[in-house]
Amino acid sequence: MSGFVGVLVSDPSLQSQFTQVELRSLNAKYHAVKNQFGLVMADDLPPILGKLKGISGIHSEDDIRAALEDSYPDMTHEIDFESFLREYLNFQGRAARAGGFKRATSILRQSTTTLLHTISESEKASYVAHINSYLGEDKFLKQLLPIDPSTNQLFELTKCGVLLCKLINVAVPGTIDERAINTKKDLNPWERNENHTLCLNSAKAIGCTVVNIGTQDLVEGRPHLVMGLISQIIKIQLLADLNLKKTPQLVELVEDSNEVEELMGLPPEKLLLKWMNFHLKKAGYRKQVTNFTNDLKDGEAYAHLLNVLAPEHSTTSTLETKNPTKRANLILEQAEKLDCKRYISPKDIVEGSANLNLSFVAQIFQHRNGLSVDSQKLSIADQTTDDAQTSREERCFRLWINSLGITTYVNNLFEDVKTGWVLLEVLDKISPGSVNWKQATKPPIKMPFRKVENCNQVIRIGKELNFSLVNVAGNDVVQGNKKLILAFLWQLMRFTMLQLLKNLRSCSQGKEIRDADILKWANKKLKNSGRSSQMESFKDKNLSNGIFFLELLSAVEPRVVSWKLVTKGETDEDKKLNATYIISVARKLGCSIFLLPEDILEVNQKMVLTLTASIMYWSLQQKPEQLDMVENKTSDAFPSAVSINGENHSDNISGLFIDDAASNAAESGQVVTEETSLMAIAEEPSATVKTHDNLTDE
């Protein structure tokens, strides 16, 4: 595996204003306008700067040109890359002063810009306390903990990648096979890069939205990006039980079975507020809590909630106390009696810290939800539970969609796609221009026929992509037909995957890639490396022991697999050990995959195909080779996927399975390694680190 080399700027203070992903994006745009002599002139800047977010819509090209003429009377003056960066910051600052550019600093779902990065010391202290509590006894980290929140020790410790990987496993146990983490005392740059690649791909695999953040940003320990990622991971941990599958007692929050569907479609944060208001109503509290900021500042809602949830600790003194800070302190003391750890301070409550209040309410829910076990209502919850296979596929597609960086975040796949809007966003992402937005209606949608219109357009576009949609109508999606929804999404994912491989023109010469080509490549790769394993098909039961995939991973990157950790795969337990190791090694290599160990154990044909294709894509990215194409015939396994109207959409869909960074680098002719997230096929909400909004064109 080749090492990662970031975009370097000679001025450290200038470089600190940008993430590596932002630098690569700007670098690509800068190089794109070079003239035949390889130069960029001041006269070339207005069209570039005028399209960047934060500037677009506020300063026109003429405004930018006029301002530049003040600095460069001779507009043929040569502009180097660092001067370009400074001009970008200059105009971004002007836009901010003009009032057209406002900074959002929410950590739970963070958007960042290059203009200013701030972090909350209270939130940092809270996250540090959480890490010290959950990882204090970790075999590797205990010698480095506890972290002092008053220093930058947190950001220093994240530079090796181990802490973030361990934290992901705290949030969702078993996500990372810790045997794949490089944990020796002194890591070389290659090993650190591996850890961060594993971390980012695993973060997507549990639901974090990690857009435009690269391994180099973590290596540098950029505070705002590290905080954003940590907050998402912790949020996922704290909200893990806020669903009917984990807590079926939540059906008590609705009056009848007709409302269960609506309950299932609520985001965890909204569900938490609904739960809180349910108990506050029982306590006689007349106000509605609609947010985790202003509505909680006076502490009254907390006092009533704790009194009704824990009557054994009930007290009137909390409400009788008029001083908000003293009342907040009494609230925390009462919560500690329920074993809620004190990760929030009285000051945070009084000031209305949204992130910390949400975390505090989630903690209370975890320790005492106060919901009864009504057998009649629990039977309703049981009816909403999907079988294991459907549940795994729902998880896969949901996480894949969330990894694409679309505007809407999907919490419940079958509920959230019913309006058709999410599917239109996905289609527009993989095939820009295919959606007629003038004929689309954005949620909330009150008129049912508008949902049908959206979904009809989804089906129409699907047919243009040659999906198999016989006798399928938009109303099937509106009605929540799970089988058809899953079938559509699989074809959409597979189409994107094959197009991605096709667009490696140095290997495929632009020809259509088929399942058989992927199968043939994998077998040939192993044969050429001296291995005897072969795969008959993507449903070959011999794949369940994992040996084939471990040998394939080793064939594309010999040092990535530690064979002393591999079992023979003769027992179910040994097979599962191999399966978990395969997934982590693939992510460590650079594959963004969403399958589970069970998918390998049961040889899930779809997931096996995506895993193989992911490894294939990564390999071809590193060392292009001419593919030995199979004759043009449709695979028996799945229907053929083709391009739209025969056009090449490589630039449009590369961002689906490769980070935006990779896409940007591709535009500039660079080879991307560590952020190559190929097959986002099923997995990876929100403490997101979104930086793409700042640099992408309007």
Establish if 609 belongs to a structural domain. yes
Q: Do 491 and 513 belong to one domain?
A: no
Establish if 240 belongs to a structural domain. no
- The model's pTM is 0.75
Q: Do 299 and 414 belong to one domain?
A: no
Q: Do 454 and 588 belong to one domain?
A: no
Q: Do 367 and 419 belong to one domain?
A: no
CATH code of 27's domain = 1.10.238
Q: Do 667 and 649 belong to one domain?
A: yes
CB-based contacts of 333: which residues, under 8 Å, 6+ apart? none
Establish if 445 belongs to a structural domain. yes
Q: Do 429 and 320 belong to one domain?
A: no
Establish if 337 belongs to a structural domain. yes
Smallest CA-to-CA distance from 54 within 488, 610, 696 is with: 696
Provide the 10 A C-beta neighbour count for residue 264: 20
Task: Tell me if residue 462 falls in helix, strand or coil.
Answer: helix
Q: Which long-range contacts (CB under 8 A, 24 or more apart) does 389-392 make?
A: 390/482, 390/486, 391/245, 392/596, 392/598, 392/599, 392/604, 392/682
User: Is-contact 658 378, C-beta < 8 A?
Assistant: no
Provide the 10 A C-beta neighbour count for residue 539: 15
The rounded distance, in Å, linking the Cα atoms of 104 and 102 is: 7
- Got the DSSP string for 248-296? GGGGGGSSSGGGHHHHHTS-HHHHHHHHHHHHHHHTT--SPP--SSGGG
Establish if 204 belongs to a structural domain. no
Low-confidence ranges of the chain (pLDDT < 50): 1-5, 100-116, 632-698
Q: Do 354 and 485 belong to one domain?
A: no
CB-based contacts of 62: which residues, under 8 Å, 6+ apart? 46
CB-based contacts of 597: which residues, under 8 Å, 6+ apart? 576, 579, 580, 583
User: Is-contact 243 415, C-beta < 8 A?
Assistant: no
| pLDDT value for 350 | 95
CB-based contacts of 266: which residues, under 8 Å, 6+ apart? 274, 411
Q: Do 456 and 376 belong to one domain?
A: no
End residue of a domain, out of 55, 88, 110: 110
Establish if 364 belongs to a structural domain. yes
Provide the 10 A C-beta neighbour count for residue 588: 28
Q: Do 576 and 675 belong to one domain?
A: yes
Establish if 419 belongs to a structural domain. yes
End residue of a domain, out of 359, 381, 403: 381
End residue of a domain, out of 441, 464, 498: 498
Please tell me the total count of domains within the chain.
4
User: Is-contact 118 224, C-beta < 8 A?
Assistant: yes
CATH code of 320's domain = 1.10.418.10
Q: Do 93 and 21 belong to one domain?
A: yes
Q: Which two tokens stand for residue 32?
A: 């794109």
Q: Do 484 and 512 belong to one domain?
A: no
State the residue range of the domain holding 408: 387-498
| pLDDT value for 366 | 93
Task: Tell me if residue 41 falls in helix, strand or coil.
Answer: strand
The rounded distance, in Å, linking the Cα atoms of 89 and 91 is: 6
Can you give 359-411 as a three-state secondary structure string? HHHHHHHHHCCCCCCCHHHHHHHHHCCCCHHHHHHHHHHHHHHHHCCCCCCCC
Q: Which two tokens stand for residue 392?
A: 């795994």
Q: Do 555 and 681 belong to one domain?
A: yes
Please name the residue that has the structure tokens 């929100």: 686
The phi, psi pair for 110, rounded to 5°, reads -95, 135
Establish if 267 belongs to a structural domain. yes
